[in-house]
Structure 1
Amino acid sequence: MATIAEIYFELVELSGHVVAKGAWSSTLRANCLYQSALLAKPGRRCRLLQGTLEITPFTPLAALDLGLGTCIHVVWLSSPAADILSLSNAFAAIKANGNVVTWGRADYGGDSSAAASFLTEGVVQVCGNTSAFAAIKENGSVVTWGYADYGGNSSAVAALLAEGVVHIRGNQYAFAAIKANGSVVTWGRADLGGNSSAVAPLLAEGVVQLCGTGGAFAAIKADGR
């Protein structure tokens, strides 16, 4: 049983699987939670979220709002081996400090100068399709660049991508993002997965996994649908 100086947490994947649970001293920082999560999948990277709030390894446990509950969501990111993402026309690499470096065909994402000020630090995931890239930052916002029609321009959904994004999946022509509340945002070529308005009510909550094909997406919800 937790003492007064301890706080009980459960570390839970978006699928609902419990990665770790227990009581940690309130004097510790959240790095102890990261260490516990990473024991489940050595070599992987993750983000920890309390609701839509990003928990960094330096966050004091005592600073967490227990009014939001003691469930901490674990969002798995790419493995270190996948930190250089290759498309048919360009490359993007995440450095240890969260900086992104790109090269290759300029109009297909090799030139990220238009978004450079957003890519200097804090990037935790980069996803690409054939002609564009999308990056998630530590604060849950999304930065896009590359061929505009294939998702390099996300201005139409910018307000939805300003915070709370935990995972991005691309197909060849579009992107789909899962937010911390289980909703999905899509953009890119409308007829090939970029427009999900026809199923928007079904994507408003509860999505835990996305999969993309050449020109479409599929989503799994927490209830298995």
Structure 2
Amino acid sequence: MHEKPRRSPGRPPRISLDQVLDSARRIVTEEGVDRLTMRRLATEVGSTPMALYHHVRDKDELLVLLLDDYAKRALRRPDLPADPRERVLVCTAAIHGALADCPWIVEVLTADDLLSTTSLWFVEQILDGLVACGLTPERAVHGYRAIWYYTAGEILVRATAGRRRADSDRATYRERVFADLDPNELPRLANVAARWAVLTAEETYLQGLTALVDGLLNTP
């Protein structure tokens, strides 16, 4: 009898860019951006890190593709009001609405070196609205930065607080401290301590955004 020739293991199955993006999106959504590596992604798609480089150069390019993909699907251009102040509010609210359910994207964007080119239209409208309201281009950039910091911070703080509450069914450290506040030393805090969690959970983003924009436009 002749032995059958051994079959070579062959190459890993071919993968598409869509498969790569789907797996990368699942990792960052469920585990966080820090857990996304080319080796981890290769394991997820059942391939090799080298095969991934046929689609993306590195992790940064992969993140940019994810950002653009999400922006194209979730970031809808709103109808622009004639009033420039309202344009700033409407465009910023649209950004907040698109990112509120995807905080990992905010985490990537706050690094300040990666961005989605699809979202630049919104940045342009905000800058243009601030300039049309009387700010210099330089002050408009500073104003946009303040608006973005407020928006990104609000999303990240709420997301982090939500995860911590979901992971624990006991009183938080803050709740234990607030329960024993001395009203003589900290009267204002003591007065609202029992309602703090409810009050800080209220949706006040638009009120805060409006106050911030008005403050920027009224600052000499």
Q: Please indicate the TM-score interval, normalised by the length of the shorter structure.
A: under 0.3
Q: Which has the larger radius of gyration?
A: 2
When normalised by structure 2's length, the TM-score is 0.27
When normalised by structure 1's length, the TM-score is 0.27
Higher relative contact order (CA 8 A, sep 6+): 2
